[in-house]
Amino acid sequence: MLYDVAIGLVWAVMLPLFLLAGVLKPRLARKALSLSTVGLTRLSPTGSGRKRVLVHGVSVGEIKASQSLVHALQERYEVVVSAFSDTGMQVARQLFPEIEVVRYPFDFAPIVTRFWRLVCPDFVLLVELEAWPCFLRAANRRGAPVAVVSGRITEQSFRRYQLFGALPEFGRISLFAAQDEAYAARFAALAGSSARVLVTGNVKVDGLRGAGDSDSDGRLQRLREEVGVEGVTPAPFVIVAGSTHEPEEEAFVAAARGALPDARLILVPRHPERAEAVQEALSRGGVPDHAPERLSELRAQGRRADPRRPLLVDTIGELEELYGVADAVFIGGSLIPHGGQNMMEPAAQGVPVVYGPHVDNFLNETQMLEAAGAALRVPDAASLGDALGTLAGDPGMRRRMGKAGRKALRAERGATVATLEALSARIGLA
């Protein structure tokens, strides 16, 4: 009751603020209203006795991780995908155009109740982890089993959850299908028992795009033309900086330009809405070759990119494909204390990976890639240029690292099958 009152007061204050801010930034008002289930209509009843499974991912990473699981479930169930972030919603619609995509509700009892009445899921799968008390309580009252799939919880998140004591009521979750033993132990501690915890692996690996995947050659050819590297002689060394955070873009460009003045630099900020600020920051020096071009503007104007200038990708859902254009990849969120971002996507395509020291959110992935010889960890931005220069000067090293990354990730496949078996045995999702 205290939680319901507190969260209700929070929303009573935040909703008007979001709507007011929406005057200048309409997306904020739209998001606030959709979190309140405004615009959500009742889903049609499932046909032929099929049950409905809600697969929820917070944002882009979780949504992309769910691909293999969603496609497998579609064979027997009606699948609905939900996301919390705007980018997560957009990527979900791109990846699953034939599936209903809805906004996950704000965790206030009246809002959650309306969401359940309109969506009516029979099962709920939370990708990695997204546990809210009102939502879990509503699921239990309606007899809908809830499972965490491809579960992961960092040490920092684990300590944070411990502060809340009985909340968010992990006892209401029927199954924790964890990625590894370390995550499983944390889930068991939060749930108060290991009886509902299994290790099934990381389903994200099963959904990764690989080098030479069907229908990828034509798309890569078009991308290479768009980013200005197709037909350029001599062929430039292409570096993609993926999922960067402030101020990593400036550090990356300075390091790469210092080591490889002629390299083709492609920057993909983690949050596309930062594109204008990034463009301004990189243009301050007044050096024409440092002023970035924006991909959306090039496409709108029908122009080809200038390979001498950094390319700023301000679109959603293209990063994984762009990795296939690269000769080397820098993973953002790692030069600052953010915890890193997904480094398996470029490795799966046979591209060498470089990242900074802050990869706490991806310890298992970095250990696997480093043990295989597929990734380089640098201590700081000053060392980033040296690592990129080394890769540029040694094609054999790049080939070995790329081959090692693909091999290491192939060995990790199979989590989707293991997860489906656990769901069948524990919550009847067969």
Average pLDDT of span 6-24: 93
Confidence of residue 307 (pLDDT cuts 50, 70, 90): confident
Whole-angstrom CA distances from 257 to 232, 249, 250, 284 are 19, 12, 11, 16
pLDDT at 286: 55
* pLDDT over threshold 80, residue 85: yes
* The pairing of beta strand 293-294 with beta strand 311-312: parallel
The backbone torsions φ and ψ at residue 25, rounded to the nearest 5 degrees and listed phi first, read: -125, 90
- Classified as helix, coil or strand, 326 is coil
**pLDDT tens digit sequence for 110-124:** 999 999 999 999 999
Q: Report percent pLDDT > 70 for the chain.
A: 97
Average pLDDT of span 407-421: 95
pLDDT at 211: 58
**Cα–Cα distance for residue pair 354/358, rounded to 1 Å:** 12
pLDDT at 213: 59
pLDDT at 136: 96
**Cα–Cα distance for residue pair 370/383, rounded to 1 Å:** 17
Least confident among 1-15, 162-176, 246-260, 340-354: 162-176
pLDDT at 222: 85
62, 78, 249, 345: the active-site residue: 62
- Structurally, what CATH architecture does the domain formed by 14-35+47-201+414-427 represent? 3-Layer(aba) Sandwich (3.40)
Handedness of CA 258, 261, 264, 266 (dihedral sign): positive
Burial of 301 (0-12, 13-18, 19+ CB in 10 A): exposed
**pLDDT tens digit sequence for 312-360:** 999 988 999 999 999 999 999 999 999 999 999 999 999 999 999 999 9
* 62 flagged as catalytic: yes
Q: Identify the CA nearest to 353 among candidates 364, 361, 341.
A: 341
Average pLDDT of span 366-388: 96
**Cα–Cα distance for residue pair 328/352, rounded to 1 Å:** 5
pLDDT at 303: 87
**Is there a contact between 408 and 347 (Cβ–Cβ < 8 Å)?**
yes
* pLDDT over threshold 70, residue 391: yes
Average pLDDT of span 187-214: 87
- Classified as helix, coil or strand, 377 is strand
Q: Identify the CA nearest to 267 among candidates 259, 277, 221, 92.
A: 277
Confidence of residue 285 (pLDDT cuts 50, 70, 90): low
Q: Identify the CA nearest to 329 among candidates 313, 311, 312, 350.
A: 350
216-410 and 14-35+47-201+414-427 share a CATH fold = yes
Least confident among 104-108, 169-173, 399-403: 169-173
**pLDDT tens digit sequence for 123-166:** 999 999 988 999 999 999 999 999 999 999 988 889 988 888 76
* pLDDT over threshold 80, residue 184: yes
**Cα–Cα distance for residue pair 259/387, rounded to 1 Å:** 9
pLDDT at 182: 93
**Cα–Cα distance for residue pair 244/248, rounded to 1 Å:** 6
Confidence of residue 287 (pLDDT cuts 50, 70, 90): low
Q: Identify the CA nearest to 388 among candidates 361, 411, 354, 338.
A: 354
Average pLDDT of span 91-110: 96
* pLDDT over threshold 90, residue 284: no
The backbone torsions φ and ψ at residue 199, rounded to the nearest 5 degrees and listed phi first, read: -100, 115
Which H helix or E strand runs over 149? strand 146-151
Query: Helix 109-119 vs helix 133-141: angle between axes, to the nearest 10 degrees?
Result: 50
pLDDT at 398: 97
Domain 216-410 is in which class?
Answer: alpha beta
**Which alpha helices (H) appear in 233-348, and where do they start and end?**
248-259, 275-283, 295-301, 319-323, 344-348
* pLDDT over threshold 80, residue 47: no
Domains of the chain by residue range: 14-35+47-201+414-427, 216-410
**pLDDT tens digit sequence for 204-233:** 999 898 755 545 667 788 888 888 888 788
